[in-house]
Amino acid sequence: MPTPGEPGLQQPNTMKLVEEQALERRERILQSVRDCIATQGVLELTIRDLATACRVSVPTLYRGFGSKEQLLVEAVSSFFNSDVLGDKLDNTGHTGASRLLAIIDLCSQTIEELPEYNQQLFRLFMNSDYGGRLGWDITESICQAARQALDEIRQAGELRDGVDLDVLAERIAAQCVITVLEFCNGDIAIDGFAPTFGYSAALLASAVTTGRAHSAFTERVQQSQAGARRQHNARLSRTPGQVGAGPDAAGTANHSATAG
């Protein structure tokens, strides 16, 4: 039987240290990837660029993450989970309705801080096999955070009877994804992201809450609705309220009127 100081008793601690070092190294790689894509974008980024930024070999990245796309997905989703909806959210100290509004604000701030980077990133993943995974991971993160806030609202007696917390949390998270898609498509400007997401999510929450929670969500709806309108989409030559009113449609209409 091993006595104190012999290798047999040190092995568990050694294994734990090795695991901690591996996790720290993985997080350093993910942070380097986030820094790299924030400064260089993602469209022309190669696995060799990422390996250089991370100061590791290309085979090391492939062994650890499988592919460039998987590495990018984990870099983004891990940041969202641990930082945006982790430390930053916990540091607000908010609960209930205030916590749900903080989730909306933090998600919006994340997009607004690096708008071009986020547009490039989400456009890349929308055309990638891994786009679904990234969308799923982020949606699930928002769902879990929103559900906790909604549960706190229920415990305070301010949630209407019969409301399914899981369904409501999923629909609030879906509003974030929809807003991201509108932003990437050019339908809303960067300064319209926060009011658009805030309006949609708060409107849902206001419909099923009472008391102070209802007042908080109603106030957010009133504050954000003026900025929640879509903008003129120059890329598609479309303006809100004018269905199919681009140059081609206008030309067709004029031709028909002349012919008539």
Are 133 and 141 spatial neighbours (Cβ–Cβ below 8 Å)?
no
DSSP tag of 190: G
> Are 161 and 193 members of one domain?
yes
DSSP tag of 221: H
In this structure, is residue 164 part of a structural domain? yes
> Are 19 and 129 members of one domain?
no
In this structure, is residue 257 part of a structural domain? no
Q: C-alpha dihedral over 158, 159, 160, 162, to 10 degrees?
A: -150
Are 205 and 217 spatial neighbours (Cβ–Cβ below 8 Å)?
yes
> Are 53 and 84 members of one domain?
no
Are 191 and 173 spatial neighbours (Cβ–Cβ below 8 Å)?
no
Are 107 and 177 spatial neighbours (Cβ–Cβ below 8 Å)?
no
- Note down the domain range covering 22: 12-66
3-class DSSP state for residue 238?
Answer: strand
What is the spatial distance between Cα 107 and Cα 85, in angstroms, rounded to a whole number? 8
Identify the pLDDT of residue 145.
Answer: 94
> Are 226 and 137 members of one domain?
yes
pLDDT at 152 over 90: yes
Strand partners, 159: 209
Strand partners, 138: none
In this structure, is residue 258 part of a structural domain? no
What is the spatial distance between Cα 215 and Cα 119, in angstroms, rounded to a whole number? 34
pLDDT (tens digit per residue) in 63-105? 999 988 889 888 888 888 888 888 899 999 999 999 999 999 9
Are 183 and 194 spatial neighbours (Cβ–Cβ below 8 Å)?
no
In this structure, is residue 170 part of a structural domain? yes
> Are 38 and 163 members of one domain?
no
3-class DSSP state for residue 55?
Answer: coil
In this structure, is residue 7 part of a structural domain? no
> Are 102 and 193 members of one domain?
yes
Please state, in angstroms and as integers, the Cα–Cα distance from residue 187 to each residue in 114, 125, 176, 237, following that order: 18, 18, 14, 11
The H or E element containing residue 9 is: helix 7-40
Q: What is the pTM of this model?
A: 0.76
**Mean pLDDT rounded to a whole number for the chain:** 83
Query: Considering Cα of 244, then 245, then 248, then 250, what sign does the dihedral take?
Result: positive
Q: Which is nearest to 172 in space by CA: 224, 78, 103, 116?
A: 103
> Are 199 and 144 members of one domain?
yes
The H or E element containing residue 195 is: helix 193-206
> Are 97 and 118 members of one domain?
yes
> Are 27 and 127 members of one domain?
no
> Are 33 and 156 members of one domain?
no
> Are 132 and 231 members of one domain?
yes
pLDDT (tens digit per residue) in 7-66? 555 566 777 777 778 888 999 999 898 888 777 777 678 899 999 999 999 999 999 999
Identify the pLDDT of residue 4.
Answer: 54
In this structure, is residue 255 part of a structural domain? no
In this structure, is residue 46 part of a structural domain? yes
Which CATH number do you get for residue 23? Answer: 1.10.10.60
> Are 142 and 28 members of one domain?
no
Q: What's the total number of domains in the chain?
A: 2
pLDDT (tens digit per residue) in 183-197? 888 888 888 999 999
